[in-house]
Structure 1
Amino acid sequence: MEKPTISIAVIAKNEADRIGRLLKSASFADEVVVVDSGSTDGTQVLCERLGARVIFNEWPGYAEQKNFAMEQTTSEWVLNLDADEEIAGTLAVEIMDAVLHTAPEVSGFSMPRLSRYLGRWIKYGGWYPDYKVRLVRRGSGSWSGDALHEKLLIDGKVERLSQPILHHVYRGIADQIKTINRFSDIYAAQKPPAGSGFVLVGVGHALGKFLECYVWKLGVLDGIPGLIIAMNSAWYVFLKHAKAWETGLREKDDV
C-alpha cells in the first residue's frame, strides 16, 4: 500500500522563541508550510533553516490565514498546527497509521490537546482533553469563525485519535493577561453597549466560571497553576462584561 503524503500548515508572526520546537517535531511530514504575516524577530529565517517552506501573506484574520496556509500545501492530508504546539513521536506514529488505513469516507481526524503552563501539564480545569479537529483530507475542510474563535469544518466523517498534541500555551502569566486583555477588547467591540446591570451579571458569571474551573472541573488538582488558571478565567469573564459597559459609557459621553 502506497504511503499517503502529509503536509503541516502553520501560521506565524514573531514566534522565533518557540516555533523551533514544533518544526523539530515535524520530521515525519512530507512538507511543512509556514505562512508568516510579517515577523520582525527572525521567524522566517529560523523556519527555513529547519526545513520549512515560508510564504508571506498579509494578516487577513485567523480563519482566512489558516485557509490560505492549507491552500499552499501539496499533500493528500493536511495537519494544521499552531506555532506553540508540538507533535510527540507517539502522535506522529498514530497519524501516519491513521491516514494509511483510514476508510474513504473519513475526511478528518480530531485529537486531544495537552497544554503545559507554569511548569506543569494541565490535566483538569476544563483544559484537557480539549479535542481539536486538525487533520483533514485535502479539499474536505475549511476554517471558519470570527476574531475570537475559529474552527476547522470537515465535509465528511471525522474520527478521533488518542495521542495528544502538546501545547506550550502562554509564555507566562503576563502573556496570559495580555491575551485576556486582547480577547476582552474584541468581545466588547462585537457586543452592543451594555448598561450597569450587565457588569453585575458579569460578577455572577465570573464567580460561576471560577467554581466551574477550580471545583467542578477539578482545577484544584493542578496545584497553584490550576488556581491561577481559574482566577484568570474568571477575570476574563468579568473583564469582557466590564468593557462592554465601558463602551456604552463612552457613547454617552460622545452625545
Structure 2
Amino acid sequence: MPISACIITFNEADRIGDCLASLAFCDEIVVVDSGSTDATREIAATAGARVLERAFTGFRSQKQFAVDQARHDWVLCLDADERVSPELRASLLAARDAGFADAAGYRFARLSEYFGRFLRRGNAYPDRVLRLFDRRRGGWRGDREIHEAASVDGPVKTLPGDLIHYPYRSLMQQLQKTERYARMMAEHEFARGKRASLGKLVLSPAWRFWRGYVFRLGFLEGWHGLVYAYVRANYVRQKTIMLWMLERGQKVE
C-alpha cells in the first residue's frame, strides 16, 4: 500500500530538510508552498519532493489541496516543523505492511520540543493527532481554517511512537504566532455566533493554566513547563478578549 506524504510550507528553509528526511520511507512527497522567499522550494525539490505553488487561503484548505494532489489514496500529513521518529516510522510501516486493514485512519502522539526540552507532561503531551488516513474516507474537512483537524468515516486506531514537533524558533515567534491564532479563532467563533462572557474572560485562562501546570503535572517540567503553561493560558485570554471586543463592534488588529 503506497503512501503519499503531504506538507504545506512557507519560508521553512531551516526546517524542511529534516522533515523530508524523516519521510524517506514514503512513496511520494508532495510539498505545497505558499510563496516562500527563502530556499524552501529548492531544498524540497532537491530532496525529491514534488513541489507545487498555491496562494495561501487558510491552513485547512491548503492541507486539503495537498491531499487532493497526491497520487496515492493513503496520505501522511506533516507540518514542516514535524519529524517522524524511528519508533513511529516502524509503527507506520507495520500498519502499511498489514494493508491498513483495521482502520480508515491512524493517530499518534505529538512530542513537542520547547526551548531545549521535550515536554512529556502538561497540556503539551500526548497531543494525539490524526495524520495518516485514507483520503477516500476523509480529509481536512469543515470550514475552520485555524486549529484544523483531519477526520475520517470509519475506525481510527492509535499507533505507538511520537511525531517529533519543533514548534517555535524563539519566544517572540511563539508570542506572535499565538496572537495570530487567537485573532483567527476569535473571528471564526464570532462569525458563527459564539459569544464571550465575563465568566469565560476571567476563568477560562486560569483553568487552562491550572489544568496543564498542576493537574497534568506540567510543574515537573521545570521552568519550561511554567513558561509554556503561562503562554498557553495567555492564548486563551487573548482569544476571549478579542471575541469580547468583536461583539462590541471593535477592531482587533
**1:165 corresponds to which letter in structure 2?**
L
| 1:21 alignment partner, SS class | helix
Cα deviations by residue, 1:170-199 (Å, 9 ceiling, x for unpaired) = 112111101121012123323449xxx945
Distance 2:153 2:166 in 1: 30
Distance 1:149 1:35 in 2: 18
Which of 9, 12, 33 lines up with 2:9 in the alignment?
12
Partner of 1:111: 108
Q: CA deviation at 1:44?
A: 0.5
Q: CA deviation at 1:42?
A: 1.6
Partner of 2:146: 148
Which of 49, 66, 69 lines up with 2:66 in the alignment?
69
Structure 1 unpaired stretches of 5+: none
Q: Say whether the 8 Å CA contact 1:107–1:154 is kept in structure 2.
A: yes
Cα deviations by residue, 1:116-161 (Å, 9 ceiling, x for unpaired) = 1110011111211111111112422211241322111112221110
| 1:126 alignment partner, SS class | helix
Deviates more, 1:71-80 or 1:221-230: 71-80
**1:167 corresponds to which letter in structure 2?**
H
1:42 and 2:39 equivalent? yes
Large movers: runs of 4+ above 6 Å: none
Q: CA deviation at 1:108?
A: 1.3
Partner of 1:235: 234
| 2:207 alignment partner, SS class | helix
Identity %: 37
How many matched pairs? Answer: 247
Cα deviations by residue, 1:196-249 (Å, 9 ceiling, x for unpaired) = x94564122212211111101111011111000111111111122222333355
Partner of 2:202: 203
Distance 1:167 1:189 in 2: 27
Distance 1:83 1:251 in 2: 35
Partner of 2:170: 172
Partner of 1:162: 160
Backbone CA RMSD of aligned residues:
2.2
Distance 1:234 1:34, change over 3 A: same
Q: CA deviation at 1:49?
A: 1.1
**2:37 corresponds to which letter in structure 1?**
T
Which of 81, 94, 97 lines up with 1:97 in the alignment?
94
Q: Say whether the 8 Å CA contact 2:60–2:146 is kept in structure 1.
A: no
Partner of 1:212: 211
**1:224 corresponds to which letter in structure 2?**
W
Q: Say whether the 8 Å CA contact 2:61–2:145 is kept in structure 1.
A: no
1:57 and 2:70 equivalent? no
Distance 1:235 1:88, change over 3 A: same
Partner of 1:246: 245
Distance 2:250 2:167 in 1: 36
Distance 2:90 2:100 in 1: 18
| 2:4 alignment partner, SS class | strand
Cα deviations by residue, 1:87-139 (Å, 9 ceiling, x for unpaired) = 12222121111111146452211111111111001111121111111111242
| 1:150 alignment partner, SS class | coil
Q: Say whether the 8 Å CA contact 1:26–1:87 is kept in structure 2.
A: yes
Partner of 1:182: 180
Partner of 2:24: 27
Partner of 1:124: 121
Deviates more, 1:142-151 or 1:107-116: 142-151
Q: CA deviation at 1:13?
A: 0.9
Distance 1:234 1:205 in 2: 8
Distance 1:204 1:138, change over 3 A: closer
Distance 1:32 1:180 in 2: 29
Q: CA deviation at 1:60?
A: 2.4
The TM-score, its normalising length taken from structure 2, stands at 0.90
| 1:213 alignment partner, SS class | helix
